[in-house]
Amino acid sequence: MTQTSDNVTWLTQDAYDRLKAELEYLQGPYRVEIAKKIEAAREEGDLRENGGYHAAKEEQGKMHARALQLRQLLENAQVGTAPTQSGMAAPGTVVKIAFDGDEDDTLEFLLGSREESGAPIEVYSPQSPLGSAINGRRVGESTSYELPNGKSIAVKLLSAEPYTG
């Protein structure tokens, strides 16, 4: 899981390896594939009305942006392990919360990075309004966070367990 503190991102070894492999693919085989698509589209003639050319250039731009994002993430990454203790919400824990103290209205999710989106459970970033509100809270504690509409909602931390995948 990850936790961003200042410019440091904490990653599990699995997440780091997966992101590094994605970056290597984008900078190697995928870059060559995009260049071939652009060259083939150029050979079709007038670039102003060449949909294939424009699509390939857009795809190249997206690939470049993702590669840049991954490079920055990995440069600031520190590899660590998920928490092993229960009872406190932290990146790498599966938390269960109750809304407005109603223990029937609950939500369970992994507190971690969006880069862990392959997890079989919903993922909330520690930087999201809800994630930052519960990060560091102990089971039984209540807090509140601001909704997109500007209203505040109270939540209670019911459980926090290490994510085991």
pTM passes above 0.75: no
**Cβ burial 21-41 (10 Å sphere, 16+ → b, else e):** ebbeebeeebeeebeebbeeb
Confidence of residue 82 (pLDDT cuts 50, 70, 90): low
* CATH code of the domain in which 68 resides: 1.10.287.180
Structural domain of 139: 93-162
**Domain co-membership, 63 together with 109:** no
Summarised one tens digit per residue, pLDDT across range 11-57 is 777 778 888 999 999 999 999 999 998 888 888 877 777 888 888 88
State how many domains the chain has: 2
**Distance of alpha carbon 49 from alpha carbon 133, whole angstroms:** 50
Which has the higher per-residue pLDDT, 85 or 109?
Answer: 109
Summarised one tens digit per residue, pLDDT across range 116-153 is 556 678 888 888 899 999 999 999 999 999 999 999 99
CA quadruple 42, 45, 46, 51: dihedral sign:
negative
Q: Is residue 145 part of a domain?
A: yes
pLDDT at residue 80 above 70?
no
**Domain co-membership, 21 together with 46:** yes
